[in-house]
A and B are shown apart, each in its own frame.
Chain A
Amino acid sequence: MTHMIEVTELHKTFTLHTQGGTSIPVFDQLSLAVAPGECVALYGPSGAGKSTLLRSIYANYRPQSGAILIRHGDRTVDILAAAPREVLDIRRHTMGYVSQFLRVIPRIPAVDVVADPLIQTGVASEVAKERAVALLERLRIPASLHQLAPATFSGGEQQRVNIARCFVVDYPILLLDEPTASLDARNRETVIELIGEAKARGAALVGIFHDDEVREAVADRLFEVETYQAAA
């Protein structure tokens, strides 16, 4: 497979057992392939299932049928069928994910939060922290905040910590859920640069960008999730 991600005939429905078994179909027969160095922007109105698709690729959500093939090292793995420890291995080495919200253990300094994914790939802790500091500086998080826990940061600062935490590792695949939502213009520029660099080194990216400017700057093509809307 020449693609980094290959989604085929994906179907996802939420069933809410606590609300009388209500079914919410999201998408059906969805297929999408992403090549190395390509950035695909998921497009569509809110509720179309963009985040659900992104989370499904990350194996955070479990679609009912279909396959999501991920190139992991020199192998291709269907992440929907993979054993939990294989999914974790893919997340550790192959696939990074920027969520909308930062979710970490309280009271851990920002620099450790950022360095953590890199340390998990086996990089020495000093080297990882150096890289974390550099990235935080690039994203304009003042040095005085590096040793503080991100829980006390502003929304924009937390978002940047989140971005740094993902870009600290050179993942071959990056999933970005509104990475620039609460950023000012300068930081948005930096994120665009980071995405550009990732593409240049051959990473495959899938993202949700509400900001037209950012989307136009980074996306190679748009993918309309709504096209695959399942019948309710």
Chain B
Amino acid sequence: MTTALMRVRNLDKRFDTIHACRNVSFELHQGEVLGVVGESGSGKTTLLRCLSGEMLPSAGTVEYDVRMRGLTDIAALSEPERRLLRRTDWGIVHQNPRDGLRMNISAGGNVGERLMAVGARHYGEIRGEAVDWLERVELDQDRIDDAPSTFSGGMQQRLQIARNLVSKPRLVFMDEPTGGLDVSVQARLLDLLRGLVRDLHIAAIVVTHDLAVVRLLADRLMVMRRGEVVESGLTDQVLDDPQHAYTQLLVSSVLQP
């Protein structure tokens, strides 16, 4: 049995009177995709922020298997160490690509930034890698010198994924990765994500309210309600045989096309 890539124990997050996350615990292993579902305000995004080190939990620990160090409480890392983690070993895909891209920098520059951040200083190689990644996310390489502001929403999202995966992260956080995209673009993006996650053996934590997205993408599922994980298990178990009243409500509320 391998050790976990991330181990979360009794994570709690409070904002004054609001208890955003209560007593969340789980383990995530290399190559696993964990979905977190729940309605708006259930604490999904706060949980993701605590996991990705953007916020520190009020109580409990988030441990990550830092290279050469093993499982380490990310709150015990110094800020530059956390920042380094966030731009090398982790990827963060935002719901709105504008939050994850530099809109006035060309597509190639966006993809190359992480490489330059870890010391790549050969223009030709950086560009070669950028071309390669544009191809992997099915973007026309002729667009390499265009700014993302000239891209469609789906293209921006794919560019954001390339920008994150270029550093070969082991863990990617995604907040509603297909939110705001029309359905035909969603399907293509989901297939792309699934393929990349599997080929590169990346672990991912996907926060979404879209149950169809987690069914296709996630191996496991956590259902959150009012900051608490009310149910967790294999994705198809939770969706096909929901045990908790809230999960049953969630599953039965989905519109079937």
Which residue, A18, A55, A84, has most C-beta atoms of chain B within 10 A?
Answer: A84
In the bound complex, residues from chain B placing their C-beta under 8 Å from that of A14 are 241
Does B191 lie within 8 Å of A17, measured CB to CB? Answer: no
CB contact list, A60-107 vs B, under 8 A? 60-62, 84-85, 87-88, 103, 105-107
- A87–B219 alpha-carbon span in the complex (Å): 10
| Cβ of B104 under 8 Å from chain A | no
Which residue, A16, A17, A108, has most C-beta atoms of chain B within 10 A?
Answer: A17
| Cβ of A23 under 8 Å from chain B | no
In the bound complex, residues from chain A placing their C-beta under 8 Å from that of B252 are 18
| Cβ of A147 under 8 Å from chain B | no
| Cβ of A190 under 8 Å from chain B | no
Q: Which residue of B lies closest to A112 (CB)?
A: B191
Contact with B along A116-128 (1 / 0, CB 8 A): 0000100000000
Does A84 lie within 8 Å of B220, measured CB to CB? Answer: yes
In the bound complex, residues from chain B placing their C-beta under 8 Å from that of A120 are 198
In the bound complex, residues from chain B placing their C-beta under 8 Å from that of A17 are 244-245, 248-249
Does B241 lie within 8 Å of A107, measured CB to CB? Answer: no
Does A85 lie within 8 Å of B190, measured CB to CB? Answer: no
- A103–B236 alpha-carbon span in the complex (Å): 11
| Cβ of A145 under 8 Å from chain B | no
Which residue, A59, A105, A108, has most C-beta atoms of chain B within 10 A?
Answer: A105
In the bound complex, residues from chain B placing their C-beta under 8 Å from that of A55 are 240-241
| Cβ of B200 under 8 Å from chain A | no
In the bound complex, residues from chain A placing their C-beta under 8 Å from that of B215 are 103
Does B243 lie within 8 Å of A105, measured CB to CB? Answer: no
| Cβ of B181 under 8 Å from chain A | no
In the bound complex, residues from chain A placing their C-beta under 8 Å from that of B32 are 85
Leading 5 A-B pairs by shortest Cβ distance: A17-B245, A106-B187, A61-B241, A84-B220, A105-B191
29 CB < 8 A contacts A-B: A14-B241, A17-B244, A17-B248, A17-B249, A18-B245, A18-B248, A18-B249, A18-B252, A60-B237, A60-B240, A62-B233, A62-B243, A84-B219, A84-B233, A85-B29, A85-B32, A85-B220, A87-B234, A88-B219, A88-B234, A105-B194, A105-B216, A106-B187, A107-B184, A107-B187, A107-B188, A107-B191, A108-B191, A120-B198
